[in-house]
Amino acid sequence: MIVSTIIALSMTALGAAEQQRAADLAGPTLLDQLAGHWTMTGMLGGKRITHDVDAEWVLKHEYLRFHEVSGDKDKTGTPAYEAIVFISWDTKANEYRCL
């Protein structure tokens, strides 16, 4: 769910030419493009969100680990949302896998 949200938010921000380029990069190449530190912004559940995302290759470059932290805080001052997601590319099935 979070991976599709990340990719959907990323794709929404792109123009038609950039969307085609991203589609052409599907698979491990697209994951390489997502590696690094970036800020995800957009609408989620009708609310404007800003999340910091750190994505790095782990486990012998088999999985891209996303660590996502919301900029919003709860009453105790901790992030309102935090997730760690692992994404890989299954070449046999020609699809992404998410843990």
One digit per residue, pLDDT tens: the chain, 99 residues?
A: 455 555 554 555 555 666 566 555 566 678 888 899 999 999 888 989 999 999 999 999 999 999 999 999 999 999 999 999 999 988 888 888 998
Rounded alpha-carbon distances, angstroms, from residue 64 to 11, 35, 87, 99: 18, 7, 5, 10
Beta strands in 7-93 (DSSP E): 36-44, 47-58, 63-70, 82-90
The 10 Å Cβ neighbour count of residue 74 is 10
Rounded alpha-carbon distances, angstroms, from residue 43 to 1, 26, 51: 15, 24, 11
pTM, 2 dp: 0.67
Give the model's pLDDT for residue 94: 84
Give the model's pLDDT for residue 71: 92
